[in-house]
Amino acid sequence: MRIFAATALALMASATPALAQDATFQGPRIEAVGGWDNIKSDGISASGFVYGGAAGYDLQRGNLVVGVDGEITGTTTKKTFDLGTIKGGRDLYAGVRIGYVVAPATLLYGKVGYDNSRVIARSGQLRDAENLDGVRLGAGVERSFGHYYGKVEYRYTNASQDVIRHQVLAGIGYRF
């Protein structure tokens, strides 16, 4: 009987770390993101591919998750028209997110933060690169696979000079 009890205790103790890793959304994380990007300004709309990386830190208390995000992306978004070309450049973001664990390994979240986008306009030999400040709003779903996770996210950015940006991205990351 003692052997059975000792074996059962040893199995439960060894299973505890695996259970703790299953559905945690806490700690530092890094990720790669990519997807669709659309920039609209003055009646001109341009679409392309956005790509980049992000890092963040999340704190989980029960089903509530609160975190911070930082991101750097680039884009292939470009539009040529009669007067020249408009092109998206690098994009810097810093913000916060809040989420709720709706299933053992699934997080629904919303985010808000500061965005600084570079937009490049060319007309003949003239080139003008503007850094536009704005606010980014977003929502997404994240699925945990142990230390790895995948996510899908929609973002809306309202920048200075009446520039609007819509993005739909997917990401894959690692939580430390």
Does residue 68 belong to any structural domain of this protein? Answer: yes
pLDDT at 16: 37
Does residue 164 belong to any structural domain of this protein? Answer: yes
* pLDDT tens column, 15-43: 434 434 456 899 999 999 999 999 998 88
The Cα–Cα gap between 59 and 41 comes to: 37
The Cα–Cα gap between 155 and 14 comes to: 41
Does residue 10 belong to any structural domain of this protein? Answer: no
**Residues in contact with 153: Cβ distance below 8 Å, sequence separation at least 6, in sequence order:** 33, 138, 139, 140, 141, 167, 168, 169, 170, 171
Q: What is the CATH number of the domain that holds 56?
A: 2.40.160.20
* pLDDT tens column, 106-151: 999 999 999 999 988 888 777 888 999 999 999 999 999 999 999 9
- Residue 151 and residue 171 in contact, taking contact as beta carbons nearer than 8 Å: yes
pLDDT at 158: 96
**How many distinct structural domains can be found in the chain?**
1
C-alpha dihedral (28, 143, 164, 40), degrees to nearest 10: 130
Does residue 34 belong to any structural domain of this protein? Answer: yes
| End-to-end alpha carbon distance in the chain | 40
Does residue 72 belong to any structural domain of this protein? Answer: yes
pLDDT at 125: 77
Does residue 9 belong to any structural domain of this protein? Answer: no
Q: Look up the domain containing 51 and give its range.
A: 22-175
Looking at the predicted structure, is the pLDDT value of residue 49 above 70? yes
User: Taking residues 5-20, what's their average pLDDT?
Assistant: 42
* pLDDT tens column, 131-140: 999 999 999 9
- What percent of the chain has a predicted confidence (pLDDT) above 70? 87
Does residue 7 belong to any structural domain of this protein? Answer: no
Does residue 123 belong to any structural domain of this protein? Answer: yes
* pTM of structure: 0.83
